[in-house]
Every structure is written in C-alpha cells, then in structure tokens.
Structure 1
Amino acid sequence: MVQDQQINPITIEDKMRNSYLNYSLSVIIGRALPDVRDGLKPVHRRILYATKKLGLIPDKPHKKSARIVGEVLGKYHPHGDQAVYNAMVRMAQDFSQRYKLIDGHGNFGSVDGDSAAAMRYTEARLASISLELLKDIEEDTINFVDNFDGTLEEPTVLPSRVPNLLVNGSSGIAVGMSTNIPPHNLSEVIDGLTQLLENPDLEIDKLIETIPGPDFPTGGEIVGNKGIKKAYKTGKGKVTLRGKSTVEDRSRGRKRVVITEIPYQLNKTKLIKEIADTVKKNKINNVSDVRDESDREGLRIVIDLKRKADPDIILNRLYKYTSLQSKIRINMLALINQQPQVMDLKTILQHFIDFRKEVVTRRTKHQLKETKDKQHILLGLKKAIDNLDIVIDIIRNSESSKKAKKNLQRKLEVTKRQAKAILNMKLQRLVSLEIDKLETELQELKEKIDSLEAILNNEAKLIKLIKEELIKVKEEYGDQRKTKIIEDDSEAKLNKKDLIKDKEAVISLSYNHKLKRTDDKENVRAGKNDYITQVLSGRSHNKLLFFTQTGQVHLLKIHKIPEHHSLSTGDHLSEFIKFPLDEKIVDVLILNEEVEDDFITIATKNGLVKKTVGKEYKTSVSSLKAINLEDDDEVIGVQVTDGKQKLLLGTKEGYTIYFAEEEISPTGRNTKGRKGINLEDNDEVINLNVTNKEEVVISLTENGRGKASPITDYNLQQRNGKGLKTMSNDDYQLLNIISANVNEKIILVTDKGQVIEKNVSDITTTERLGNMYSQINLKDEKLVQIIKLPLS
C-alpha cells in the first residue's frame, strides 16, 4: 500500500525565480568572476594547480598541453576540454597577459587573430611568476575543498604573492553583471601596496600618483587621465587607448605613418582592413598604400602618404574613423567572500593586503608548530644523550620495544613521541661532533621560534615581512611601463586645434544632399540629375550649421568633411549627420568669426521672426535648439544679417511684407521671436529673403505660373502688418517667393522627380500686382520645390 505523500504547491514564477537565482550564483562564483585575493577564476586556478601537481615547473621540460588539460578535466574542472585549453592559451599569450602565467611552447596564436594549434601539438609548463602565486600552498596558508567527485582536494584560492587581479586584469560576463579590470604594471602596483602598508589612511589621489593607470601588454597610449581617476575612485570608468605611431621620411619629400603599437585586444589584421576601407571611402585622403611589415622584430603597420599629405591630419582621422583609438570600459568587479562587489583602487589593494596578512599569519603558525614539534623531538634526544647509561640499561633490560618505550617515558620523563625518537636514534648521533650539532640545531630552533612568535605577536613585524616579500617579487619580475599616458587632445587643442591645419575650404551641398569640401570653387560639381544648391566659403576650423524645420540646428566641423578632387561629387550628408526622420534641412550656414559677430535671423511658418547673435551658436555639442516653436509652427528660412538689412517675408496666399531688420530686437537662442507679419486665416509664410535694391521678387505657383517684379514695387512697411499683395488674382496659391538678381538661376523640382534649371532673366517681368504667366510647361506634374542656385 502506497503511503500518502504531502504535496506542497508552488507557483511556476517562484520556482523559475529560485532556479534562475541558483544558476546565476553558480555562474558568478564558479565561472565568470575572479577572486579579489588571487585575481583568478576557478578554471585558471585549477590550471595552475594541476600544472604544479604534474611537476611542470620552470626548470622542468614542457609537456603536451593535452596532458595538462586532461589533468584539469579529470580531477578538478569537469567542463569542456576546449574551454580549458582556450583559457590556458590566453594565459600563455604575451599580447593578452601583462605577465604570462603559462610558458607555452609551440603555436599559441598571434595578435593577428590566428588561433592556437590544437592541444595535441603544443606544450606548456608554469611560467616563473606562477610559482609566486603558488608559493607556500603546502604550508596550511589556504583552505582546500573536495573536488567535484570527492576523491581529491583543490584550493579555494592560491596564496599569491602577486597582486594578480590588478597586474593581469580580468574580464568576464556573468548573469546580470560583468567585469573588466585592465592589466597594470607590477612594479607600480607593488609600490602602491607598500605605500598602503606604511600608511593605511593614504588617499586614493596619492595612490594614483604611484599607479597612474593601466599598463597594457601591447603598449599604446592612454589619452588623458580623467577616465582613469573616475575608475580608480568609483570602480567604473572609461579610458581612451590609442596605438603608438611615428612619422618617417620617404623619398622626394613624401612621408609615411608607421604604427608600432596597437590598442589592447585589437586584431592587427582587422585594424589594417579598417584603415584600407576608410581610405576607400575617402574619409582619409592622400594615402597611397597601406601594408603590414611586422616581423620578429615587432609590429609595424606602414601607411605611405602622398606628397601634399599632412601626417598629423592623417593620424587624427585614423583615431576618429578606425580602432587605432578606442574606448576601454573599466568595471572593477570581483568576488569578496563569494559576493560580487565593485571596488575602487584602494579597496582592491587593501583586500590583497588583508589576504597577505592572513596567508603569512597561517604560514607562520604552521611553521611555528612544525618547529616546536622538531624542537620537542630534539629535546628528547638531548635528554637521552645526557642520560646515555640509563637509556642503554633500559633498552638492554626491556623485553620489547613497547616496554622500552614505556620505561623511557617513566625513567627520563619524556613523551611518547620523544621515547619513540630515542629508540629510533642511530648510534652515530652519540659521537661528540653529532652532539655539538644537536646543541647548535636546538639553539637555531629556539631562535626561529622566537622570530616566528614575534611575527605573530607584533603587527609591525608582520607588515615588514609582507613588504619584504612584495619587494622581492618586484625585484624579480618588475619591469618598465609599456603604456604611455599622454595629454588629452581636448586639453592640447588650444595649441594644436585637434591636429587640423586651418586653411580655406569651399563647401558645396547638392539637391540630393551630396556634401563636398574642396579648396577651390572651380572644383564644385554635381552628379548626374543633381544640382549644387549651396556653395559656402570658410576655413577648416569653422563649423557648418544645418537648420531644420523643427527648430533644431545640427553642427558639423568642416575638417570632418574629407577633401575631394575636382571630379568627385562628395559624400552623402547622412555619413556625417544622422537627422531624425521628422526633420528636413531648411538652410545651411557657415559659423565663422564674421557670422559670430553678426546675427542669425530665423522666420517661421506662423509669421514669427527672431535674430540672435551668431556667437550663441558657438558650442561643442553636435545639436541644439535654435528657436522655441509652438506645436503647429516650423522654421521656413534662416539668413545671416548684420542688423541693418531689409527683410522680405512672403506668404502662400501671395502677401508680402518688406521691413527693416532694426525692427527686430536681438533675443537669446532659445526664444520665440517677434511677429513679422499678421497672417490671414489659413495663410502661412513660405520664405524669408534678405534683399537689395537690384533684385527682383519672383512669385511662383505649383502649376508653374509666376512672374518677377522689381523690389522697388514693394513699399517699406513696419513689421506685424498684413503686408502687400504680390499678385492681382486671388485664385492662386504660391509655392515660393524668392528675391534674386537677374543674372542668377533657380531650379524647379516636380513631383515626378524632374529637376529643371531656369534663368531668372527668363521669368516674365511685371509690376507687383501684374498677371501671373506660365513659366514652365507642365503636363501631369506639379512643382514641389523652388530653390535659388548660388552664383557660379
């Protein structure tokens, strides 16, 4: 009969939550995160321990990597063999580890991204510095636990004398968290530890003076130290790392850029491909060749430049467009008592110091116990030698060794262990030389006991010993810093202007949004079925201002636009600025010193006009608000004015208002503006014109009817009036009203994509209230855009 079993109901949500929590804790503790004490994850710790147990120390021959992997898998780490081998390979790569922990023999991969040979082909043994991580492991310095099947024991942590967490760094992705601790210079970290041992209240800023930043095995240059300071003080931050390069002279005045160091964990082959692709896309000009000349002497990527090329500009663009300069995230997360915690620099160092105190204390206690045990035996032997006749008599008259042992304990007042040692004592110990040696050994043991007890009873002596051991490690394995920390470009730009030469630049923008920079207006050209709609002259240090109908202005440094040859039509604007889907460009201006002193005047669909001094647009951000708009309003025109010009607003219903700019008072950038024209219901402003006396006013409808009238027909009025009609027929709605000189041109764009160029002089000229005449023969099309072309 089956007994009733108690069933406890549980929701699937609770079951899933608990199961996932157990899984995540297993990943965090057992696989992904390093221990703050030895800086190792379980797999790395097991590899080092298993390699040592195999006797593969630096003065012994290498053994097949497969032998080591098998040892690790069979005894300590029941996971995939490839995962263990990959971890071991990384420990043997001098471009991955700042200080290699495994001494590999054979193909262990390359900085080009080549994989290591299979484990059956490669060989390995412990690197010398790994002995410092394993030192004193047999002296009860750390705890051991059962392995996965309970047949062996493995260490929970290694008694490392090396601050390995900082020295070799660590990276890993757990469940819901990740760690990324960069490698550091051993000498600097040990100097920081000794400082902290001497003064536990030392400020982090003082530690940063000793440990100025990460030190990567592949060298490179860290740009600035703000990110380093943030990471060291909070545990999180970012640093900018760039490759190291030099400029060499070639023949005939040409130069070459030679990259000799690349950022940490960057694939060299990938970098060369990135550079080549950037050159093909014309983001970097004046490059004739890119090749890899790396050999046994070291890394060498060569970029040959054309004669007119400026190496500083080329380097600046390499930093911007390729991985030669990249951001490295720092997240100093490690396990403390099996709990993940983000730590600042001082906390990590202090945990290592606390660990070393524990290790040295346990080792000292272990050594003290062993020394006292040995002293205890030797004192028994000495007592036996001093009472030799009694000992001989007891042994001679005892029936068995057991009886002899008891008699010795009773007669000489020695312990069972001492009595056993007396019985096992060789007769040669009775010679005078051996007796003197015994006396000396006892004296040495006493001194050693006194020394060990002093360490245990005196904190200062314990700290001194820890410091001495750290200094020995530094003397044996310390080296010079590989990664240089240089001044941030943003700080240096006061002198170098981002390494960009200030020179004349002609910027053109086409109807199809092709953007081009040249050094001469003669080189401006458009592609097939395209027209140049704007040509702006400035300098490479100026900025372009792209105003959109939503009231935003997007800024672009001119030097970021590649220089193009005369036959090129340029790059699409989207390669430089990512406009939101709801924004379209209204006007483009150049912000230079002259414009900074003038005004930028904006008109809106609802008839508002505002002007703001140009220097308010001088900013380091890439986008900002140019005008504060109502929800139903939008920008329709932007012009540069000097405060004394005449403005003409035109509306869809054919009204115009012509007034002096002085009527608009300057306001700040993020303001609404003043009323320029008083609109009728359902009317809206369609253009803002800055005029002169020689211009005509062109009025055009979407069906191609229009006219040109002299500007003198438009009386100067005060702003905020209803304005004057520019045509006699109220049946027409205008597509655009443009003021232009008779020697200028306009383009007419239809809804079928047809683009038609037309001379202003060919447009029918009438008085302001004259008739509207057909200016273009449209069949089943209508006009959707009218643009005045720049003077050629």
Structure 2
Amino acid sequence: MSQITIEEELKKSYLEYSLSVIIGRAIPDVRDGLKPVHRRILYAMHELGNSYNRAYKKSARVVGDVIGKYHPHGDSAVYDALVRMAQEFSMRDPLVDGQGNFGSIDGDAAAAMRYTEARMSKLSSEFLADLEKKTVDFRDNYDNSLQEPSVLPTKVPNLLLNGTSGIAVGMATNIPPHNLGELIDGTAHLLDNPDCEIADLTDFIKGPDFPTGALCFGGQGLREAYETGRGSIKIRGVLHVEESKTGRQSIVITEIPYALNKSNLVEKIAQLVGEGKIEGVSDLRDESDRKGIRIVIDLKKGAIADIIINSLYKFTQLESSFGINMMAVSGNRPMLMNLKQVLSAFLEHRREVIIRRTRFDLDKCEKRAHILEGLRIALDNIDEVVRIIRASRSGDDARIALMERFELSKVQAQAILDMRLQRLTNLEHEKLLEEYAEILKKIEYFNSILANEEVLKGVIRDELAEIKENYSTPRKTVLMDQNPDDIDIEDLIPDEDAVITLSRRGYIKRTPLSNYQKQKRGGKGIAGVQTKDGDFIRTFLTTTNHQFLLLFTSKGKMFKIKVHQVPEASRIARGAHIANLLPLEKDETIATAMTMREFEEERFFLFVTKNGMIKRSSIALYRNCRQSGIRAVAMRDDDQLITVQEVQADSEAVLVTKDGTSIRFSCHDARPMGRVASGVKGIALRPGDEVVSGVVTGDPERVQLFTVSQGGYGKRTEIDQHRLQTRGGKGIISMRVTAKTGKVLGAIMVSPEDEVVLLTSGNKIIRMGVKDVSLVGRATQGVRLVRMDDGDFAVGFDLVQDAGDEGGSEFEGEEIE
C-alpha cells in the first residue's frame, strides 16, 4: 500500500475544493454570465415548459427539479438565487417573472417557495434559444443520470447586463449591471472593428446602469475598471428639495445606491439626527410605495438644505463606493478580464453557437432535401412506381425494387412507400416542388455562413439588433463627469467666528462667537456650559469654521479635523464627547488645541511638555494626518504634552511654570527635529514645579505678557522685563504666587486693544478688554479679573482677536446628553 504525507493530501484536497468553488459555484462563466445555480434554474424551467408565455408554476416545483436533477445543494440556496433573479431592484433585466412576495428593497424576505410562483421572463427565452440544436456541450449531472448544458447559447451579453458578485477561495468577483442597448452597440462595434481600443468601446458603453437608478461618478476609477478589470466608482442617491406653502423645505430622496437596504438607510439617518451629527431636521418619514422610492426629510426653519444634503452623503450610504472586479471563468479557469476581453469572449461564444446551429440546420435540410429529391422522382414516374409497388410481395421487396429502378437510397425509397395518396394531387406536387426549392436555398445560405466570415458576422449583427429592438430600455443611472469629492461642504458653510470648548471629561462643541457678550472687568459673567459634577471646561479657543482644528493629546499624538466638523451646540450645552470624533486610547486626553489654515515648510511647531522639554519641528511634517492620528512628539512615560505653539525660525518663546517662574529664550536654541523626536530641555524645573504655558513673542503689536492665576487674578507685564536667556536655565520670577492668587494658570501675549474670554470651574464666562487690566511689574501678583463663588477657580482663558461688542444677551439651550 503506497503512502503519502498528510501535507500533500491536504494540499491536493484543498486545491480540488478551491477549483470546485471557483468553477462550480461562485464565479460566473464569461460566455453566458451565469453561475451554475442560475444556469440550472433556467434549464430546469425550460425542461418544465415554464416559459414566459405559459402559466406560472410553484417555485417549490422549480426548486425541487433543480436540486433533484442538477444542483446537489440546499433548497434555500437555490430558492434565494431564484428570488434574486426575479427582483427588479437586484437585476437590471430580471430573468425570472415572479408572482407573489419576492422580497423588497427594505430587506424583507420573500415568502416561502410553496407560496410563490414563477416562470421565465421573455428575455430568458433568448438565453435558451437553439439549445436543442446541439449549440453547446452537455455534461453529466452529479449522479450521471441526466445531461445538463455546460453553458447556455445566450444571445444576450449577460455578464455585463445584470452583473454579478461572488466570493470564492482566494478570489472574488463584483461586476456592476449595464444597459442592454449600450452593450449591444458596443458589441456590434467590436464585431465590425476587432482591433478597436477600449476607449472606442466606452463611447458606446458609458458606464454601469443600476436597476435602482442613482448617480454614478466613474472618472478614473471606471476607466481603470474597463482597462484592467479592477477599479472603483462612487454611487450617489438622487434627491431634490421641495418647498411647502408655509415656506418650510423638505429633502426628498427618490433613488438610492445599488444594493442598499432602504430601511437601513432611514434608520441610519434617524440615528445621525438623534446623535446631532445631522442638524436642522424636524421630521423623517418613508413615503415609498409601488410607484417608487420617496424618503422625506423635513427641515427646521432656517436650516440650510445643501449642508444637510452633504452631511447625508458623508455620513450615510446615500453615497457609497462600488469596487469593480471583473473576474470570470474563461476556458475553464478564472481570469481578470477587461471590457474588450469580456465582449470578445461573448462574440466568440456567439460565433461558435451560430456555427454549430448552422451545421445542425444544414444537416437537417440536407436530409430533408434528400427525401424530397426521392419524392420528386417518384411523382415524375408515378405510374411505374405504383406498378412496382403492386407487383411486390412485401414492403422490403418494393423498397429494393424502387432503389434498383430509380437509383434511390434506402431512406428515399422508404419515404416513397410512406407517402400518402393525397400527395399525388397536382396541388401537393406543386407544394413539394416549392418546399424542395426552399430547402435548396436554405442549404445554400447555411453553406455561405460556414464558408464566409462576413456572412457569419452579418448573422451575429442581425441577432444583436433584434435583441436591442425587443428588449432594450432607457438608461436608469445618470453618469456624472464631476467627481463627488470635488464638492466641498466648506463651500456651503460661512467662514464665521466660532468658539471651540473642550471639557476635562472630553466634551467638545462649537458655538458662534456672537453668543457671548462683552462685559466690564469684575463682572459676574453669564451662564456658560452646563457640565456634570466633577467636569469643567479646560480648553477654550476662538477660531473660524474653515480652519483646521489640531488636537494634540497628552501622549504626544496629533489629530486634524475641520472646525466645522465639530458638532455645533448652544452656549450652555455640554456638547458631544471627543470619542465620537477621535479614536483616543485609554487614559489619553486632549492636552492642547490650536487652529491653522496651511502647513508651510518655513513655519515650525514648538512642543512644550510638563517636565520642561521642548521640540521645534517643521509644520510641513504634520501636513498629512491619518484619521487615526499621527505621532507628533515622542513622550517619556512620566511626561505629558501640555501645549504646542507655532513659531518662526527667529521667534522667541517664554515658558511659564505654575509656581510663577518663567524663562525667555530664542527658538534658534532648539534645532529643528523630526516628527517623532523627543526634544531638548527648555527649563530646569525646581522640585514640585511644572510648566503650565509656552508662549511665543515677536508680534510687534503684542509685546505684553498676560498672566492669569487659578484664583482669578491677572496682570499685564512688558515682555522686555523678562530678559533673554539660554534655554535650559532655571528662569526668573514671572508672577508672585500667594494663597490668594493661587497657582499660575497660564500666560499669553496681548496688546491693549485685545479682548480676553475667561472661564471658571463654576461655568461662568466673562469677556473683557485687555486695557481694563493693569500694566504692572514682573514680580507682582496682579489684580482680580473675576469674582468667583467659594470653591471656584479659573480653568481657562483665550484671546479674542478683532472682536467688536455684540451686546449679546442670555442664550438658552438644551444640555446634550
């Protein structure tokens, strides 16, 4: 007994299994565009006489024939395939005419097969035409008891017409549906111009044509798919804006992308509205019926429809990608094929089918002509034929006598003996001669097809034209030249001033700056963010909607989003959690935030850590940022990133510590480093001290250091009072820290014309002019900026640039859970 290793046996068995799945189940044949299960369904219906012009039959009967005779798999798999072939939203041109519940675009399952009925569609008859004329090879079924066709002699380029999708072992296919009329035009052009380029074919075949319509953005991705077999396109649903008599607007979705579950789309929109990612929606309802899709989104008064439309495209599958992968079985092996190869394979199949059909018809006509020739001889000599027959003792003797007398074949002699007496009439004689003449013409025509390639092409061309005339329908999908990525939501959002707030627990929001009113120094402030116990605002930025919001985490990572992508909320609302926007790690918090429009090579970031480390890196290194963030600076385990500032090569920086020490140095002292470097020492800290701020000097209009303490005290100091030192030193006193002032909260550079917004842990907000704060010496404690309740302390402040007095008022809003 021979022995083999288990490795070899497993390899051999798995390869055989893979081939079975690829060829026998998942990948369609390029010639008829059908997988075995679909081919067997159509053939079983053909054998049952279940054609389009006959009565429907129970789906269970069709499924039973398929699994009992040809497809040794589960009945549910076969029924699911039959159901899909009958769904108008799944097939561009359905191959099965279903009666009953065959599912819906909402994802509803079809009724059980015992309830539904089916028959072939009229188009399906073209798949099986001439099957009985030996046009294709037949093979044994799974138990060798019956024969089934290995491919159907289809007249329709079905692989591209209805498309397909399937996952095999190690490969997959995903082909979109196309328009039949365009496919026929492209195929006919290839027939007449076999050396044409793929670009010539795309003049006829513009792009996919989905049964659900929608908009198709092909562009380079579609060209790559047609040229290489792989590519990607974008599909967008179709919608429009309706306005009611009261002036309220509604967005109405009438077409959705291919293979999208409509019910899931509606649920997703409702979810996004509930989460606040899509704002300005007052009502959402599905008004779809048998006439078509109609999803209505009612807008609130003042909502901008274009912004909501772009949000729908961005956050839902109303815009989706379709990855084209034109994998098909050709020559009994899977191949990635381009557009020309697919159409060429179909044309070659049609050539073979027509040749085999012609040979079958020619053979049949020649046999009939042979018989008619004998009958003509008999009629011309009818008296002698009758005499021979009457004189013969038996039929065999008569046949032999006729063969010898008139040099007939056995078949001709037998046909004379089988001829009825009524054929002896003059009328029947004339009919026989006419039939004979007609048969001779057919024989001549069939011979010309087999002998002349141009005649064969003419037959193919005529049949294609007939298919187009009888079955083509107008295009449903609109092809767009413009790339959807070219449509920027920023074009629809005004670049207005905004305030970004971030709480200690990570709640972020965007609020128009006009919601905050200007007050005099020492005021009580207005109601700010409603936070939960133990939470308070720690970051407060003034910016504009079109800028980038750069978020640097305590672990040294950087995230980049647009300001307008931050959910907008009222002044007293808590906002959305930062985890909804950024993929933060456990125990990772946002350390600092800044805004920027462009990332230029000659500009630099200055990173400052709690332990006094600094790093200067080119901003251009941070231009490309993944959605998952990038490493901005290497951090030691016991250190944290506290701030990032933009600097020039000749800028000067000031580091301020919580104990009131500061150091001023030139950024030249920190050489430019790579993106993931850890940096150099900026200040030598005393025990227990840490850096709380890093500011940049150099603005000729802002030459004063504005320092704020946690106790609500602040002061202005001329920057010249902080002498220039070498980085790494211990620094000098910047603010006198007492129990009344509390530790230093931070510092910024200001001018007398600037305004500052200050926030407290009690969620009070005060906006004041810088000139209202006294200009004092470096070692002083400053003046009171805001009166705070017991236990409250200052938690954040920021500069308001070029802001006038809006004279605002209390702004009411709901807390966002």
User: Is structure 2 residue 690 aligned with structure 1 residue 690?
Assistant: no
Judging changes above 3 Å, is the alpha-carbon distance between structure 1 residues 644 and 296 closer, same or farther for their aligned structure 2 residues?
same
Judging changes above 3 Å, is the alpha-carbon distance between structure 1 residues 714 and 504 closer, same or farther for their aligned structure 2 residues?
closer
Judging changes above 3 Å, is the alpha-carbon distance between structure 1 residues 331 and 522 closer, same or farther for their aligned structure 2 residues?
same
User: Is structure 2 residue 578 aligned with structure 1 residue 573?
Assistant: yes
**In the alignment, which residue of structure 2 is the partner of 1:739?**
747
Aligned 8 A contact 2:211 2:258 in 1: yes
2:568 maps to a residue whose letter is E
1:508 maps to a residue whose letter is T
Please point out which of 532, 552, 558 is paired with 1:553. Answer: 558
Judging changes above 3 Å, is the alpha-carbon distance between structure 1 residues 671 and 127 closer, same or farther for their aligned structure 2 residues?
closer
**In the alignment, which residue of structure 1 is the partner of 2:134?**
140
Judging changes above 3 Å, is the alpha-carbon distance between structure 1 residues 720 and 559 closer, same or farther for their aligned structure 2 residues?
closer
Aligned 8 A contact 2:540 2:796 in 1: no
* Deviation, structure 1 residue 299: 1.2
Please point out which of 31, 56, 59 is paired with 1:37. Answer: 31
**In the alignment, which residue of structure 2 is the partner of 1:659?**
665
User: Is structure 2 residue 110 aligned with structure 1 residue 116?
Assistant: yes
Please point out which of 436, 441, 451 is paired with 1:442. Answer: 436
Matches within 5 A, 1:570-649: 570-579=575-584, 584-592=589-597, 599-605=603-609, 607-610=613-616, 612=618, 622=627, 636-640=642-646, 646-649=652-655
2:506 maps to a residue whose letter is H
Judging changes above 3 Å, is the alpha-carbon distance between structure 1 residues 790 and 140 closer, same or farther for their aligned structure 2 residues?
same
Aligned 8 A contact 1:242 1:325 in 2: yes
What is the SS of the residue equivalent to 1:461?
helix
Please point out which of 543, 566, 570 is paired with 1:538. Answer: 543
Tell me, in whole angstroms, the C-alpha distance in 2 between the residues paired with 1:183 and 1:125: 22
Query: Is 672-681 or 428-437 further displaced after alignment?
Result: 672-681
**In the alignment, which residue of structure 2 is the partner of 1:716?**
723
Aligned 8 A contact 1:63 1:124 in 2: yes
**In the alignment, which residue of structure 1 is the partner of 2:499?**
506
* Deviation, structure 1 residue 534: 2.7
Identity percentage over the alignment? Answer: 43
* Deviation, structure 1 residue 39: 1.1
What is the SS of the residue equivalent to 1:121?
coil
* Deviation, structure 1 residue 600: 4.9
Tell me, in whole angstroms, the C-alpha distance in 2 between the residues paired with 1:102 and 1:225: 33
Query: Is 407-416 or 224-233 further displaced after alignment?
Result: 224-233
Tell me, in whole angstroms, the C-alpha distance in 2 between the residues paired with 1:280 and 1:758: 32
The superposition leaves residues 665-700 of structure 1 with CA deviations (integer Å, 9 ceiling, x where unpaired) of: 997985979978486999997742236654366799
Note the residue ranges of structure 2 that are not aligned, 5 or more in a row. Answer: 517-527, 737-741, 751-755, 782-792, 801-817
Tell me, in whole angstroms, the C-alpha distance in 2 between the residues paired with 1:575 and 1:277: 14
The superposition leaves residues 542-563 of structure 1 with CA deviations (integer Å, 9 ceiling, x where unpaired) of: 2211234666532102222232
Aligned 8 A contact 1:61 1:125 in 2: yes
* Deviation, structure 1 residue 711: 6.3
Please point out which of 177, 188, 196 is paired with 2:182. Answer: 188
Aligned 8 A contact 2:537 2:759 in 1: no
**In the alignment, which residue of structure 1 is the partner of 2:788?**
none
* Deviation, structure 1 residue 160: 0.4
Tell me, in whole angstroms, the C-alpha distance in 1 between the residues paired with 2:361 and 2:743: 97
Judging changes above 3 Å, is the alpha-carbon distance between structure 1 residues 349 and 243 closer, same or farther for their aligned structure 2 residues?
same
Tell me, in whole angstroms, the C-alpha distance in 1 between the residues paired with 2:536 and 2:587: 24
Please point out which of 146, 152, 155 is paired with 2:146. Answer: 152
Please point out which of 353, 357, 374 is paired with 2:351. Answer: 357
Structure 2-normalised TM-score? 0.83
Please point out which of 472, 496, 509 is paired with 2:466. Answer: 472
The superposition leaves residues 236-280 of structure 1 with CA deviations (integer Å, 9 ceiling, x where unpaired) of: 222221211110002332100001111112121111111111100
Judging changes above 3 Å, is the alpha-carbon distance between structure 1 residues 461 and 392 closer, same or farther for their aligned structure 2 residues?
same
Please point out which of 293, 298, 302 is paired with 1:299. Answer: 293
What is the SS of the residue equivalent to 1:116?
coil
What is the SS of the residue equivalent to 1:659?
strand
**In the alignment, which residue of structure 2 is the partner of 1:777?**
none
2:122 maps to a residue whose letter is S
Aligned 8 A contact 1:97 1:217 in 2: yes
2:541 maps to a residue whose letter is L
**In the alignment, which residue of structure 1 is the partner of 2:812?**
none
* Deviation, structure 1 residue 21: 2.4
Tell me, in whole angstroms, the C-alpha distance in 1 between the residues paired with 2:217 and 2:152: 35
**In the alignment, which residue of structure 2 is the partner of 1:287?**
281
Judging changes above 3 Å, is the alpha-carbon distance between structure 1 residues 755 and 570 closer, same or farther for their aligned structure 2 residues?
closer
**In the alignment, which residue of structure 2 is the partner of 1:779?**
none
What is the SS of the residue equivalent to 1:138?
helix
Tell me, in whole angstroms, the C-alpha distance in 1 between the residues paired with 2:766 and 2:427: 121
Tell me, in whole angstroms, the C-alpha distance in 2 between the residues paired with 1:159 and 1:648: 82
Judging changes above 3 Å, is the alpha-carbon distance between structure 1 residues 312 and 619 closer, same or farther for their aligned structure 2 residues?
farther
What is the SS of the residue equivalent to 2:131?
coil
* Deviation, structure 1 residue 375: 0.7
The superposition leaves residues 412-437 of structure 1 with CA deviations (integer Å, 9 ceiling, x where unpaired) of: 11111111111112222222332232
* Deviation, structure 1 residue 618: 6.1
Higher relative contact order (CA 8 A, sep 6+): 2
Aligned 8 A contact 1:553 1:626 in 2: yes
1:342 maps to a residue whose letter is L
The superposition leaves residues 153-180 of structure 1 with CA deviations (integer Å, 9 ceiling, x where unpaired) of: 2111110001111111111222232222
Tell me, in whole angstroms, the C-alpha distance in 1 between the residues paired with 2:719 and 2:97: 90
**In the alignment, which residue of structure 2 is the partner of 1:69?**
63
1:282 maps to a residue whose letter is G
Aligned 8 A contact 2:606 2:647 in 1: no
Note the residue ranges of structure 1 that are not aligned, 5 or more in a row. Answer: 1-6, 749-753, 771-784
The superposition leaves residues 687-734 of structure 1 with CA deviations (integer Å, 9 ceiling, x where unpaired) of: 42236654366799xxx9x999966695422544635344999xxxx9
What is the SS of the residue equivalent to 2:445?
helix
What is the SS of the residue equivalent to 2:567?
coil
Judging changes above 3 Å, is the alpha-carbon distance between structure 1 residues 52 and 501 closer, same or farther for their aligned structure 2 residues?
farther
Matches within 5 A, 1:6-155: 7-155=1-149
Judging changes above 3 Å, is the alpha-carbon distance between structure 1 residues 627 and 109 closer, same or farther for their aligned structure 2 residues?
closer
* Deviation, structure 1 residue 368: 0.7
Tell me, in whole angstroms, the C-alpha distance in 2 between the residues paired with 1:305 and 1:398: 100
What is the SS of the residue equivalent to 1:602?
strand
Judging changes above 3 Å, is the alpha-carbon distance between structure 1 residues 498 and 209 closer, same or farther for their aligned structure 2 residues?
farther
**In the alignment, which residue of structure 1 is the partner of 2:382?**
388
What is the SS of the residue equivalent to 2:4?
coil
Matches within 5 A, 1:277-356: 277-356=271-350
User: Is structure 2 residue 493 aligned with structure 1 residue 493?
Assistant: no
Judging changes above 3 Å, is the alpha-carbon distance between structure 1 residues 551 and 512 closer, same or farther for their aligned structure 2 residues?
closer
Tell me, in whole angstroms, the C-alpha distance in 1 between the residues paired with 2:389 and 2:509: 109
Query: Is 551-560 or 449-458 further displaced after alignment?
Result: 551-560
Please point out which of 158, 167, 176 is paired with 1:164. Answer: 158
**In the alignment, which residue of structure 2 is the partner of 1:459?**
453
**In the alignment, which residue of structure 2 is the partner of 1:222?**
216
**In the alignment, which residue of structure 1 is the partner of 2:407?**
413
* Deviation, structure 1 residue 740: 5.4
Tell me, in whole angstroms, the C-alpha distance in 1 between the residues paired with 2:72 and 2:722: 92
User: Is structure 2 residue 180 aligned with structure 1 residue 176?
Assistant: no
Tell me, in whole angstroms, the C-alpha distance in 1 between the residues paired with 2:298 and 2:780: 66
Q: How many residues get paired?
A: 753
